[in-house]
Amino acid sequence: MVTIPSQPDDPAAAPVSVLTPRDVGTTGLRTFPIAFDGSVLGWVTGVTRATGVLDRFSAAGGTFISTADHYAAGRSEYMIGRWLARVDRSSVIVATKVGRHPDRPGLGAHQIENSVDASLERLGTDYVDFLSYDGDLLPADPEDAFDAVDRLVRAGKVRFLSAAHFEARRVRELNERVAPAGYPTFRAVLAEYNLMTRRAMEQEMLPLAAEQNLAVFARLPLASGFLTGSIRSPDDVPRTALFDGALQHLGRRGDRVLSALDEVAREHGTSPSAVALAWVLSKPGITAAVVRAHDLDALDAGLLGSAIALTRQQSAALDLASE
């Protein structure tokens, strides 16, 4: 079990996890099953707090940090870079996304290569472990984009390619199109998955991932904060606009899911957040859940979720409530 420290403001008093790391597809990498979502950095989390959160994450066994070049106009990457300078770079898996930065929009070859160089400068590193196309923004002739990634891989700037916010059919189509030419194929996917958003992942993406041995990173496992249980009526206001998406889940189905989470949380003596994360991580094929942790308390809740073992009855109750 993960143990929450008695002094949560002390980064040295880190939770301890004995959870086994998971294989990242066929890349040869392994990762702790909770990944850190860098979208909060530079937006709701400043430099000092970011350092404490990332220290705690690393001390608890965390290895995977996911960001994007457009998060907070690049400040997320910059803050991660400041932290990376303090640790062993080889112990961290860094993933970033390109395609949506306002200065370099799209996935043309030049945009990709220039975006990666800018990201590396902000991150203060020579390479990223995963580069994601941030949505299906590819030009009509996608081979140029994959050729650009091939050059980046050969230059040692990128290790693996991934797809963020793509439909499963499109991932399949592109992998089958570029593989015969020897271009890098998608080795991982990043897609939304939680108790409120299930169908596309379970019916399409997870079967494809199993067929092609892709790593799967579950984005928004807490449904933009809705599954924390802190937003239960239209009068409950998210703490920042980053969590406004929680409001879309209000209603009868949302009430059923929160009620089921409350019950399982009582049985485990924990929080709805921890149970919601445990549900995601219990699903076959999920490599890690990418968690938005804006402070130490939110991070600790996420770490707890990586250690709870749900019973079959509890999983079934959550499945039924979220149908």
pTM for this prediction: 0.90
Residues with Cβ within 8 Å of 263's Cβ and at least 6 positions away in sequence, in order, are 317
> How high does pLDDT run on average in the chain?
90
Domains of the chain: 22-321 (3.20.20.100)
**pLDDT, tens digit, for every residue of 10-65?**
443 443 343 689 999 999 999 999 999 999 898 777 888 889 999 999 998 899 99
Share of the chain above pLDDT 90, in %: 75
pLDDT digits (tens, 9 = 90+) for 33-43: 999 999 989 87
Largest CA distance in the chain: 55
Print burial letters for 56-68: b (CB count within 10 Å at least 16), e (below 16). bbbbbbbbbbbbb
Q: Residue holding tokens 């749900």?
A: 310
Beta pairing, strands 64-66 & 34-37 = parallel
- Mean of pLDDT values over 150-175: 98
% of the chain surpassing 70 pLDDT: 90
